[in-house]
């Protein structure tokens, strides 16, 4: 096996493959990048058991003298390529377990891993698939995956529930304290489908997808999903089980509705959370609607101090005054996924869930449970 390629092109594709590189695994082979050298392309494969990535690299700079396959320690290999000088790098297998790397004034040999220990990975396309614009897919992931649970005691809540009904794709995520729901139109109509994709897998996929006009093919199998994007195949396991029926959690009537400038509301909540009696991640903030239609955002800590922020709504308040307390972390994370400059917070009561919607964020809502305080 011997080939030459542009260093920057190789590094760019290695960093994509790195997203599935395992760092903690009982199988040392999964710490490696499998590289298949073919006559006209390189195929790089990585896996951490939860996700697997295959990247096909075809480039004019690729010059293959002889084909072959190798398994290279991923962490060291990527760092070596990153630090090399020069534009071109040559790779050759000099012994059964040694890879020689030559570039400019560098001559490096790297011990290879045992290729026979690498698992046989399936990147199988299926008849059951949909096609989604890459920007649309990134939007639905960005606006839902953050609300998944990080606690493994209810594994089903660590994923986003995707359902397809005709030409509508819906994504729902909840950690039982908040809920994010987004629905998008599809260009074609498809059979009904209901799957749960781990939130961590979707976050890694987000890092690979670029803001362009490409389409992503999404192939569903019984317990796996495959995303086919340009020259990348991204495979993830699905979560097993039934996702909770979340539609019943969303209130139908809202006696109090307040429209805010989104950035002003974010800034007020961020300042108020600084002196909360809880640490920043779990800061509890209170919202109070006064009789003069000014909204107070406040927090109080006997040991530290008190913050009171006055926020003037962007429109006339609908409904009577209300007092409610909530997690600043949950509300801030929800607000920051809106594209709208104005958001409407809709309340059903002081101890009942409230939702946030945006004028230009069609078919999306964020639901948050309030916090009981003394």
Residue range 313-371, pLDDT digits in tens: 999 999 989 999 999 999 999 999 999 999 999 999 999 999 999 999 989 999 999 99
Taking 60 as the threshold, does the pLDDT of residue 280 lie above it? no
Q: Is residue 24 domain-shared with residue 96, that is, in the same domain?
A: yes
CA–CA dist 88, 4 (Å, integer): 7
Closest C-alpha among 143, 145, 135 to residue 343: 143
pLDDT at 279 (0 to 100)? 54
Indicate whether 108 belongs to any domain: yes
Closest C-alpha among 171, 154, 153 to residue 162: 171
Q: Is residue 234 domain-shared with residue 258, that is, in the same domain?
A: no
The model's pLDDT over 120-164, given as tens digits with 9 standing for 90+, comes to: 998 999 888 999 999 999 999 999 999 999 988 899 999 999 999
- Domain edge (last residue) among 196, 220, 247: 247
Q: Is residue 282 domain-shared with residue 337, that is, in the same domain?
A: yes
Tokens linked to 285: 């903030």
Taking 60 as the threshold, does the pLDDT of residue 277 lie above it? no
CA–CA dist 323, 258 (Å, integer): 13
CA–CA dist 58, 38 (Å, integer): 10
Q: Is residue 174 domain-shared with residue 222, that is, in the same domain?
A: yes
pLDDT at 93 (0 to 100)? 94
The dihedral of CA 219, 222, 225, 226: what is its sign? Answer: negative
For the chain, what is the mean pLDDT? 93
- Domain edge (last residue) among 117, 147, 165: 117
Give the HSE-up count for residue 280: Cα atoms under 13 Å, Cβ half-sphere: 3
Domain span at residue 6 reads 2-117
Q: Is residue 85 domain-shared with residue 141, that is, in the same domain?
A: no
Q: How many CB atoms lie within 10 A of CB 163?
A: 16
Give me the mean pLDDT over the 212-220 stretch.
92
Q: How many CB atoms lie within 10 A of CB 26?
A: 7
Number of structural domains the chain divides into: 3
**Model confidence band, residue 302 (pLDDT cutoffs 50, 70, 90):** confident
pLDDT at 179 (0 to 100)? 98
pLDDT at 303 (0 to 100)? 79
What percent of the chain clears pLDDT 70, i.e. is strictly above it? 98
Taking 60 as the threshold, does the pLDDT of residue 281 lie above it? no
Taking 80 as the threshold, does the pLDDT of residue 374 lie above it? no
The model's pLDDT over 159-187, given as tens digits with 9 standing for 90+, comes to: 999 999 999 999 999 999 999 999 999 98
What percent of the chain clears pLDDT 90, i.e. is strictly above it? 84
* Residue 214 three-state SS: coil
CATH number of the domain within which 18 lies: 3.10.150.10
Q: How many CB atoms lie within 10 A of CB 120?
A: 4
pTM above 0.85, yes or no: yes
**Model confidence band, residue 278 (pLDDT cutoffs 50, 70, 90):** low
Q: Is residue 243 domain-shared with residue 257, that is, in the same domain?
A: no
Instruction: Answer for the pair 310, 295: CB distance below 8 angstroms, yes or no.
Output: yes
Q: Is residue 263 domain-shared with residue 214, that is, in the same domain?
A: no
Indicate whether 100 belongs to any domain: yes
Give me the mean pLDDT over the 93-114 stretch.
93
Instruction: Answer for the pair 22, 32: CB distance below 8 angstroms, yes or no.
Output: no
Indicate whether 41 belongs to any domain: yes
Helix residue ranges per DSSP H, 18-89: 74-83
- Domain edge (last residue) among 211, 228, 247: 247
Q: How many CB atoms lie within 10 A of CB 154?
A: 12
Helix residue ranges per DSSP H, the chain: 7-17, 74-83, 134-142, 199-208, 262-273, 328-335
Q: Is residue 82 domain-shared with residue 165, that is, in the same domain?
A: no
């Amino acid at each position: 096996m011997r080939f030459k390629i542009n260093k920057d092109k190789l590094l760019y594709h290695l960093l994509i493959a790195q997203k599935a590189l395992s760092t903690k695994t009982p199988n040392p082979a999964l710490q490696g990048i499998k590289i298949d050298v073919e006559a006209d392309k390189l195929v790089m494969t990585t896996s951490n058991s939860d996700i697997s990535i295959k990247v096909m690299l075809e480039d004019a700079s690729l010059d293959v003298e002889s084909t072959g396959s190798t398994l290279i320690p991923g962490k060291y290999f990527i760092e070596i390529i990153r630090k090399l000088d020069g534009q071109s790098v040559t790779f050759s297998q000099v012994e059964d377990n040694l890879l020689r790397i030559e570039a400019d004034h560098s001559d490096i040999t790297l011990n290879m891993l045992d290729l026979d220990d690498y698992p046989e990975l399936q990147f199988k396309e299926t008849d059951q698939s949909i096609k989604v614009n890459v920007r649309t897919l990134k939007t639905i992931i960005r606006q839902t995956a953050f609300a998944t649970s990080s606690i493994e005691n209810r594994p089903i809540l660590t994923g986003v529930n995707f359902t397809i009904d005709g030409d509508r794709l819906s994504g729902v995520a909840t950690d039982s304290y908040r809920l994010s729901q987004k629905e998008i139109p599809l260009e074609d109509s498809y059979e009904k489908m209901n799957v749960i994709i781990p939130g961590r897998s979707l976050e890694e996929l987000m890092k690979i997808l670029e803001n362009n006009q490409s389409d992503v093919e999404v192939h569903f199998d019984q317990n796996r999903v495959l995303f086919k994007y340009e020259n990348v195949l991204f495979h993830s396991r699905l979560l097993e089980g039934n996702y909770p029926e979340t539609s019943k959690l969303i209130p139908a009537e809202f006696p109090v509705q307040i429209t805010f400038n989104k950035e002003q509301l974010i800034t007020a909540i961020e300042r108020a959370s600084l002196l909360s009696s809880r640490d920043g991640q779990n800061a509890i903030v209170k919202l109070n609607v006064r009789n003069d239609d000014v909204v107070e955002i406040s927090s109080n800590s006997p040991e530290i101090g008190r913050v009171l922020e006055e926020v003037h709504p962007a429109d006339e308040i609908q409904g009577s005054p209300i007092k409610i307390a909530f997690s600043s972390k949950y509300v801030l994370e929800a607000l920051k996924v809106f594209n709208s400059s104005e958001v409407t917070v809709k309340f059903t009561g002081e101890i009942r869930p409230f939702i946030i919607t945006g004028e230009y964020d069609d078919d999306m809502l964020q639901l948050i449970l309030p916090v009981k305080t003394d």
